[in-house]
Chains A and B, each alone.
Chain A
Amino acid sequence: MSDAKSLRVAYGEALVELGTKNSKVVVLDADLAHATMTSMFADRYPDRFFNYGIAEQNLMSAAAGFAHSGLIPFASTFALFGAGRAYEIIRNAIAYNNTNVKIACSHSGISVGEDGGSHQSIEDIGLMRLIPNMTVLVPCDPIEMKKAIAAAATINGPVYIRVARPVVSNITTEDTQFEIGKVVTLREGTDVALISTGLMTERALHAALMLEKEGISTKVVNVHSLKPFDVTTIRQIAKSVKGIVTAEEHSVIGGLASAVSESLVGTLPQGFGFEKVAIMDTFGKSGKPEDLFSYFHLTAEDIANKARSIARRK
């Protein structure tokens, strides 16, 4: 548990590191460079940074233009204005012709906090998963962020990377496997599997510790790759436990819960437990991030409660 830092700072650092290694990398932002932390890249490589002002549709279109010229653009803004406002541009100008644009959007989910519902993207994973050709990555800690950015640059095609705002500790290590399209089991267990993504993975690990003390053996599976999705491993995991709990800082519609459901439908035995910790089809609101996690029932305790209900089943 070292090197706690905001995932957006981890993103900024990862961009600088990537930019040093790969001269084709350029960065575009929409007047949020000091919030998305692309400012770190801008400070280091001012001639490779392009501010497109408060114009997210043009941000994404221009990024496509840079990619068509052989460059590897990273376009950043807040998740709601990237995945949301510029959705159709991402769909038609970037994904439709498999253009090599990386879309890294910060301030995802309710962890945005005080800015409130208008700025809290609870649907970006779903929106991006819907688009053919798109890869969707949701890093859970600073180490995974660095790996995700490096991996995104190796793909010739569009990638969406969800960048959360809060400061988080590393829960993975440099040696933890990171392969696009694969889940990572962070902890073994035999009763219940907690399948989580992004900021919820740290909470899932806390829940597993609580459950262990109660004699419930809990597996924790981190999903950094929402698309492509590791259907094979998720099915194997489901066969090894009595039930699963999905956990995400996203709407229960379209995100991790949907991806897991889609993977398992028709494969589960009678009585298999399937519980979801997510935002239950409602908008966010203002508040301190931790208060919002409690309000929307996205805490380690909430995950543990769902797991207990499964473990108690006969």
Chain B
Amino acid sequence: MDIASQTVKARELRADVLTMLYKSQSGHPGGSLSCVEILMALYYNVANINPQDPHWEDRDRIVLSKGHAAPILYAILADLHYFPKSDLSSFRQIDSHLQGHPDMVKTLGVDVNTGSLGQGAAIAGGMANAAKYLKKDYQVFAILGDGELQEGLIWEASMAASHYKLDNLTFLLDHNGLQIDGTNEQVMSLGDIIAKYEAFGFSCFKVDGHDIQAIVEALNAPTEGKPKFICCETVKGKGVSFMENQAGWHGKAPNKEQYVQAMKELGVEVNV
């Protein structure tokens, strides 16, 4: 898929996210919309995966450590035919395999359960270390939220990634600057994230997190025997004007008028 058509795809995926949230009247729009291009860079461009064989043991692993962004993960997995797209309308419902946060036991294509912040990144580190031990070539990618960096476990995992020279491990940070109670700066300053990750022994990159090509280039860049950290600068709620850069849209579903307006901005006319 060329980059131009991926822009169209990104808009469709954002519309899928909003529809899921509107139908379930729950979920996390802001952080789902901010990491659309990050997940697209992985699923459509870089990761060595096979939707026909979800459990293929040599596949690259993608761990959505910020598991509350499950809607965009599900929209992509459905688009890649891990399961029927019609399943998306059951998101968060009692009879659905699409849980509020990703569940590998219930949903094909999910590599590990996440949602409790910090754990996905640390599990990814274990997967990468196991790949080294098993002399496997697969890579492990973890998508982290910026508020998530406040979890101590992230730094335990980061220290270990460097100690074990896990050059098959990449942390992609969805740096939208916002968390539930406000900005990162207000709640708990992250400081100079790049300097911190450099100090922790990672190869560091900073990219526009809505530029798929730029993310792909950083993903493909050599790492000199180190784990990789890609700081993706993003906008929370990206693509929906009234959700952009609003902490209040972290975990709130749109009402009818907001849904219609948001879909209109994404080029979709809906009658609800």
Give me the interface of A with B, judged by CB distance under 8 Å: 26, 47-48, 50, 52-53, 55, 57-58, 61-66, 68-71, 88-89, 92-93, 96-98
Contact = CB atoms under 8 A, between A and B. Distances in A.
B219 to A, nearest CB: 20
Interface string B111-133: 11101101100111111111101
Given A58-B156, A58-B160, A70-B57, A92 B129 contact: no
10 contacts: A50-B129, A53-B156, A57-B118, A61-B123, A61-B125, A61-B126, A62-B157, A65-B127, A68-B126, A71-B134
B153 A89 contact: yes
Contacts of A48: 133
Contact of B153 (A57, A65, A66, A70): A57
B153 A69 contact: no
A68 B57 contact: no
Interface string B148-186: 000011001101100110000000000000000000000
Contact of B126 (A55, A64, A70, A97): A64
Interface of A is mostly: helix
B125 A62 contact: yes
Nearest to A48: B133
Interface string B19-61: 0000000000000000000000000000000000000010001
Contacts of A97: 103-105, 112-113
Nearest to A60: B122
B113 A58 contact: no
Given A63-B126, A66-B126, A66-B129, A57 B111 contact: no
Given A55-B160, A93-B116, A61 B122 contact: yes
A93 B113 contact: yes
Contacts of B131: 69
Contact of A61 (B105, B111, B119): B119
A53 B160 contact: yes
B130 A55 contact: no
Nearest to A59: B156
